[in-house]
Amino acid sequence: METVHCQAASGAYDITVGKGSWQKISEFTGRKLLVRDGNVPNPGIEADGEIVLTPGEQYKTFSAVESICRAAAGLHLTRKDRFIALGGGVTGDLTGFAAAIYMRGVHFIQIPTTLLAMVDASVGGKTAADLPEGKNLIGAFHQPDAVLIDPGFLKTLSFTDLTCGLAEVVKTAVILDGELFEKLEQAGESTILAPDFDTLYPELVKRCCQLKAQVVEADEKELGLRAILNYGHTFGHAVEQKSNFSIPHGAAVAIGMNVAGTLAVTLGSWSADDARRQLELLKKLHLPVTVPVSFSSSELLEVMRSDKKNDASGIRLVLPEKIGKAQTVSGIPEQQMIEALEMCHD
């Protein structure tokens, strides 16, 4: 097992990556409520109570958060006790949000079971639920006590779930690590998509966790630097929501990265060659890169106007400067965003 330490301002914790890491749950004291994704069987975690969530982004609602809190209340859990999230990003977000508000804050532990959750959602303390008006519009910053990552869970993922997680790996590489991007470029398609989960994937997960931990340590509450982690997400969330979540998060982020990259090229802030490299890598990983033709650009822009990252100057975007570096930008004319969307329609 290997450990990445995250020294967030509100609390420090370890991210453990390795086979059987979930078994470290026994080292934590107090009573436990296991919150489990319905697609994920319990590998043997002993808890005082268990609640099973219906999987899917469409069920990432405040009513799900309430159900977790009521289950905890039914067990008479106190602030000394813990919630355990076993599942993907939706389960982790909902459990963390419930932990943040139950009795004004209780402990929780993340045990991510999808690649997307391992490399992104489980680290950093962002917790949330969706509203009909937009994704993640209600939530809290609430750091976990620990993140326990067992790459063995990846063996159960569908091809789509695996590639969706790889979209977040590509995102991390584009904005923070040119060497990681090159490693993904150089890896054979079969190596990535039919992988040995004991070698390459633990390395990818650990590196993404290291990079995210560094950003969280510098800016826990997303007042500056942390916003770059939303690369591809503003366009991507709009696509995801417009599809009624039939397009999964990672796939939508891949589309969003292509749109953001296209926009950056038209603005002259990113080279066409880097945009080509990003596009080719996303395609190699069998990720979608085009906006469905039935999605109106003006309607997508309307969804983007409700994005929680916006500021007084309008829609706030993350745009790449070069492979391994990105910046947040506000005040871009909406017409230019529409043109970038149109250029990426299938």
How do the domains of the chain map onto residue ranges? 2-156, 159-177+220-343
Please tell me the predicted confidence (pLDDT) of residue 297: 96
Residue identified by tokens 């790996």 is: 169
Structure tokens at 260: 């953001």
Please tell me the predicted confidence (pLDDT) of residue 226: 96
Nearest to 232, CA basis, from 219, 218, 249:
249
Please give the backbone phi and psi of residue 91, each rounded to the nearest 5 degrees, phi first. -60, -45
CA dist., res. 305 & res. 315, Å (int): 6
> What CATH number matches the domain at 159-177+220-343, 3.30.1330.40, 2.60.120.370, 1.20.1090.10, 1.10.10.10?
1.20.1090.10
Judge whether 171 and 257 are in contact, CB under 8 Å. Answer: yes
Q: List the pLDDT tens digit at each of the 346 positions of the chain.
A: 999 999 999 999 999 999 999 999 999 999 999 999 999 999 999 999 999 999 999 999 999 999 999 999 999 999 999 999 999 999 999 999 999 999 999 999 999 999 999 999 999 999 999 999 889 999 999 999 999 999 999 998 999 999 999 999 999 999 999 999 999 999 988 888 887 788 889 999 999 999 999 999 999 999 999 999 999 999 999 999 999 999 999 999 999 999 999 999 999 999 999 999 999 999 999 999 999 999 999 999 999 998 888 887 889 999 999 999 999 999 999 999 999 999 999 8
Indicate the SS3 state at residue 16: strand
Residue identified by tokens 């994920």 is: 40
Angle, helices 200-218 vs 178-186, to 10°: value is: 160
Catalytic positions, written as ranges:
104, 126, 168, 212, 222, 226, 230, 233, 237, 249
Please tell me the predicted confidence (pLDDT) of residue 133: 87
Query: For residue 45, what are the contacts with CB-CB under 8 A and spacing of at least 6?
Result: 22, 25, 32, 34, 84, 86, 111
CA distances from 250 to 70, 165, 253, 254 (A): 31, 6, 5, 6
DSSP-assigned letters across all residues of 73-135: HHTT--TTSEEEEEESHHHHHHHHHHHHHGGG--EEEEEE-SHHIIIIITSS-EEEEEETTEE
Please tell me the predicted confidence (pLDDT) of residue 58: 94
Indicate the SS3 state at residue 7: strand
Please give the backbone phi and psi of residue 106, each rounded to the nearest 5 degrees, phi first. -125, 170
Domain covering 2-156: architecture: 3-Layer(aba) Sandwich (3.40)
Structure tokens at 249: 């998060």
Is 124 exposed, middle or buried, given 0-12, 13-18 or 19+ CB atoms closer than 10 A? Answer: buried
Structure tokens at 74: 């039914």
Query: For residue 192, what are the contacts with CB-CB under 8 A and spacing of at least 6?
Result: 166, 184, 200, 284, 285
Please tell me the predicted confidence (pLDDT) of residue 195: 75
Judge whether 193 and 163 are in contact, CB under 8 Å. Answer: yes
pTM, 2 dp: 0.95
Q: What amino acid is encoded at 102 in this protein?
A: Y
